[in-house]
């Protein structure tokens, strides 16, 4: 099987049809620009180009390997697709560099891409032994091993609690600190074993693999995911033209909560109470397109288990910025 076919076979875009339908009213007109902020293996991007033949795509990813694979996949669409090596909070700079003032659609598919999970040497998956790296962009930054081996115990506890919602954070970190003094961590299997041995029996019986929350926390820390997302969603909303739409797929409660807060704030009036007429500058900038977070269907989850935790939220831009 050729590399491109292998990529397509192992990558099933999550909630694809719903994402396309959510963005469609903004992308039907010729000349529309849509940004895929998380290109990955290009499944959503390819579908956007196919469904909206008059649209131009700008696609971002921090993972150089994913960019190369997607470049081949999207080559048939020629100059309709512009691929950029960037983190999604760099969206304003990317658009400015391309001379694009505003866009009609923005899509985020957050979390770890299929390729990152499937490539054993990336260290994202706790189910297989690999170097403890977890960097989405392997050209910069520090990996998970360095975090484990060098961070003070208190900081590790904070990370596991804040980013992994791990109730046993102190117990796990105590075990990690003892073990790293004997020998630094460099492989995922050893970390999984240390976590498993550190937890009480009751904690091992619930919630799947006991290492899951720790791996999530390390990945978020290594890639600065929540800080980046906290900048990226407001930037994406700011880049939308009036009538433009944003769709965001999240995979854990921390991401979804942040997305919900930004979109809900944009959909609320900022007028002081008691005004008989609300000036335009206080009117909502956004209209929510989903009631709460939409979930994948049971059918989709049966076909693609990675869709199970997905949460989709969307919004439409109602008005331009108005100076106070």
Q: What is the pLDDT, as a whole number, of residue 121? A: 53
DSSP E strand boundaries for 215-299: 240-250, 286-288
- Residue 42 is labelled as binding a ligand: yes
- Residue 43 is labelled as binding a ligand: yes
- Asked if 308 and 233 sit in the same domain, the reply is yes
Which of 223, 252, 278 finishes a domain?
A: 223
- Residue 104 is labelled as binding a ligand: no
- Asked if 204 and 272 sit in the same domain, the reply is no
Q: What is the pLDDT, as a whole number, of residue 3? A: 40
Q: Going by DSSP bridges, is the β-strand pair 240-250/103-109 parallel, antiparallel, or unpaired? A: parallel
Q: Are 208 and 125 in contact (CB under 8 A)?
A: no
- Asked if 214 and 190 sit in the same domain, the reply is yes
- Asked if 218 and 96 sit in the same domain, the reply is no
Domain that holds residue 149: 122-223
Stated pTM of the model: 0.87
- Asked if 111 and 126 sit in the same domain, the reply is no
Strand-pair partners of 59: 36, 83
Helix (H) or strand (E) holding 56: strand 56-61
Q: Are 87 and 228 in contact (CB under 8 A)?
A: yes
Domain count, the chain: 2
Residue at 290 is within a domain? yes
> Could you tell me which residues come within 8 angstroms of residue 28 by beta carbon, excluding any fewer than 6 positions away?
52, 54
- Asked if 15 and 52 sit in the same domain, the reply is yes
Q: What is the pLDDT, as a whole number, of residue 242? A: 97
- Residue 116 is labelled as binding a ligand: yes
Residue at 214 is within a domain? yes
Which of 193, 223, 253 finishes a domain?
A: 223
- Asked if 76 and 194 sit in the same domain, the reply is no
Q: Cα 321 from chain centroid? A: 26
Distance, CA of 27 to CA of 55 (rounded, Å): 7
Please report, in tens digits, the pLDDT of each residue of the chain (324 residues total). Answer: 234 443 444 568 999 999 999 999 999 999 999 999 999 999 999 999 999 999 999 999 998 988 999 999 999 999 999 999 999 999 999 999 999 999 999 999 997 655 455 455 555 667 788 899 999 888 888 999 999 999 999 999 999 999 999 999 999 999 999 999 999 999 999 999 999 999 887 766 666 788 889 999 999 999 999 999 999 999 999 999 999 999 999 999 999 999 999 999 999 987 788 777 778 888 899 999 999 999 999 999 999 988 999 999 999 999 987 654
Tokens of 146: 């360095």
Which of 223, 239, 274 finishes a domain?
A: 223
Q: Specify the CATH number for the domain of residue 257.
A: 3.40.50.150
Residue at 322 is within a domain? no
Q: What is the pLDDT, as a whole number, of residue 4? A: 42
Q: Specify the CATH number for the domain of residue 214.
A: 1.10.150.170
- Asked if 111 and 235 sit in the same domain, the reply is yes
- Asked if 105 and 38 sit in the same domain, the reply is yes
């Amino acid at each position: 099987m050729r590399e491109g076919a292998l990529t397509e076979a192992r990558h099933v875009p999550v909630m694809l049809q719903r994402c396309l339908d959510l963005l469609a009213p903004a992308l039907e007109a010729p000349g529309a620009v849509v940004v895929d902020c998380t290109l990955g293996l290009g499944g959503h991007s390819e579908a956007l180009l196919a469904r909206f033949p008059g649209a131009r795509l700008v696609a971002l990813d921090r993972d150089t390997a994913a960019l190369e694979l997607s470049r081949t996949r999207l080559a048939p669409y020629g100059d309709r697709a512009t691929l950029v090596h960037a983190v999604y909070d760099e969206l304003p700079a990317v658009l400015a560099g391309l001379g694009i003032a505003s866009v009609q659609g923005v899509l985020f598919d957050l979390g770890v891409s299929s390729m990152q999970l499937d490539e054993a040497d990336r260290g994202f998956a706790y189910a297989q032994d690999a170097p403890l790296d977890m960097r989405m962009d392997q050209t910069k930054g520090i990996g998970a091993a360095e975090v484990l081996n060098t961070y003070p115990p208190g900081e590790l506890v904070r990370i596991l609690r804040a980013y992994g919602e791990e109730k046993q954070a102190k117990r796990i970190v105590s075990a990690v600190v003892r073990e790293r003094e004997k020998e630094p961590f460099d492989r995922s299997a050893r970390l999984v074993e240390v976590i498993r041995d550190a937890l009480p029996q009751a904690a091992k019986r619930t919630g799947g693999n006991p290492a899951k929350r720790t791996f999530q926390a390390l990945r978020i820390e290594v890639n600065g995911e929540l800080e980046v997302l906290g900048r990226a969603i407001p930037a994406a909303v700011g880049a939308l033209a009036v009538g433009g739409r944003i769709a965001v797929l999240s995979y854990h409660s921390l991401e979804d909560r942040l997305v919900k807060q930004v979109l809900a704030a944009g959909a609320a009036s900022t007028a002081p109470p008691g005004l008989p007429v609300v000036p335009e500058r206080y009117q909502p900038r956004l209209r929510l397109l989903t009631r709460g977070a939409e979930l994948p269907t049971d059918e989709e989850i049966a076909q693609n288990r990675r869709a199970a935790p997905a949460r989709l939220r969307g919004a439409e831009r109602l008005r331009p910025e108005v100076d106070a």
